[in-house]
Structure 1
């Protein structure tokens, strides 16, 4: 049974996020196990297994995880849509998912919480078996974390997905400007794209959102205004919307995200053959 407090854990990945989690545990008196590339995940032991790798490395991590411990996997802060992938890998139902609004500027730096002027309680959220432990670790380091049920988490997850897809695409479209410049100079475009995506998710995925989605996403953009924009991890991010568009077109249905489609297809990203 997962504890409501912090505990020793296993951390997959020794980058900025993995190291930050290790330091949080150390400050609370825990000696976490860090697993680096090519190393085995211990079959013995207990506690959560934080997965802090990039999306493209997830399949290898899941394959390397002993079957008896797959229920302890905690997918921590992967940007982009990974829900269907986790279901295909048969680890979605029993694993813990964490939506991270936390920045670590460089290896060894203390994390900066992604609280905003609209959400001073913070936007980081966790759901699943080890959600309370995740919250305890972050809160013990002065960071925020909301423990949510699965439906609440999915809505928040899709909000973050809309944020990264919208701000990155608009930033690149306008010449590679920062997230803050997108928010301050092109807010009308942000609202237009987010509202389209929101409607798409309501129709295609049955997601119910709290009011004020564009406003929350703009507030987060203001809190990380210096972030650069770039179209990365296309297959995990903007491709999600293009896949829905193409599936609907195949059925003779309208494109629910035409603004996103129009801007995306103007850019030299691999939207064909993927």
Structure 2
């Protein structure tokens, strides 16, 4: 979200990825960012979560946003989008603190597979953002994540507030494209595959960063990417664009310093494991045998 912490670094977790040298992230030129911010009409928003990402989004506004910290209620009479920048495990509490009449204004910035949870809450068409930018410290400007295969940037938004989100991010000097639901779902699944594959392979090799996985354990991660992509495509009835492995590995080179660990299992690898469990219960072969074996090897399941 790819993220060291869902509320502090979000890339596409999202959000994606030839063997040319890894590009350096470009930090927005301060003066050009100010001009862009002045020209853009950034819609006021409620921002839930006062961490690095929430603060960065607030800084992109015009000073009329409302920052709501964890545990505080979301007002019923503040028009505009509600940008949710918390950890996945805090989403239930955020929903409880939001008047139901305003649920359709929620915009989720989290990494991972949110669909089952969103559907269980009747939020089948909820706004989401795949955020491929990093904020290293509270109050610092975000750095856009761009790769050699996607120099235009990877951040994407979907839903009723998608254009408003793109305007806000552009005002902050960041890229953001607006996608329809099908295109967004494909990119969301690619991001999920990236974080599940690279974190799991990295966890098998203690101390390995994302860059080390891409460089030294490419065959392992390539096999896992192919396996997870096949399972996701079958589960969702979609066809991914070609060269997924190239895109995911390009992204890994761009964030080579990220450490690896299997985290937030319910929201990440757990979705693929549930596909395996269902197939086995139905007497069918496990569609993700490598994934299952390596989860067991690490005693995650």
| TM-score of the aligned structures, taking structure 1 as reference length | 0.93
Distance 1:50 1:142 in 2: 18
Distance 1:204 1:44 in 2: 40
Matched, 1:81 2:120: no
Distance 1:24 1:88 in 2: 32
Distance 1:16 1:236 in 2: 21
Give deviations 1:67-111, integer Å, cap 9, x for gaps: 2211110001x1211111001011232x31101111111211211
Bigger Cα displacement from structure 2, 82-91 vs 150-159: 82-91
After TM superposition, give the deviation of residue 189 of structure 1 in Å. Answer: 1.4
Give runs of aligned pairs for residues 56-135 of structure 1, distance below 5 A: 56-76=89-109, 78-93=110-125, 95-135=126-166
RMSD: 1.2
**Any conservation in 2 of the 1:19–1:107 contact (CA below 8 Å)?**
yes
Q: Partner residue of 1:202?
A: 233
Distance 1:13 1:65 in 2: 13
After TM superposition, give the deviation of residue 238 of structure 1 in Å. Answer: 0.9
| TM-score of the aligned structures, taking structure 2 as reference length | 0.85
**Any conservation in 2 of the 1:7–1:30 contact (CA below 8 Å)?**
no
Which of 29, 47, 55 is equivalent to 2:80?
A: 47
After TM superposition, give the deviation of residue 5 of structure 1 in Å. Answer: 4.8
Give deviations 1:188-216, integer Å, cap 9, x for gaps: 11211111111111212112211111110
Give runs of aligned pairs for residues 1-274 of structure 1, distance below 5 A: 5-25=41-61, 29-76=62-109, 78-93=110-125, 95-269=126-300, 271=301
After TM superposition, give the deviation of residue 149 of structure 1 in Å. Answer: 0.3
The 4+ residue runs of structure 1 with deviation greater than 6 A are none
3-state DSSP of counterpart to 2:108: strand
**Any conservation in 1 of the 2:157–2:178 contact (CA below 8 Å)?**
yes
Distance 2:136 2:124 in 1: 30
Give deviations 1:2-61, integer Å, cap 9, x for gaps: xx9521100000001101101111xxx242100012211111021100000011010111
After TM superposition, give the deviation of residue 114 of structure 1 in Å. Answer: 1.1
Instruction: Count residues with an aligned counterpart.
Output: 262
After TM superposition, give the deviation of residue 248 of structure 1 in Å. Answer: 0.1
Distance 1:117 1:216 in 2: 9
Distance 1:243 1:266 in 2: 17
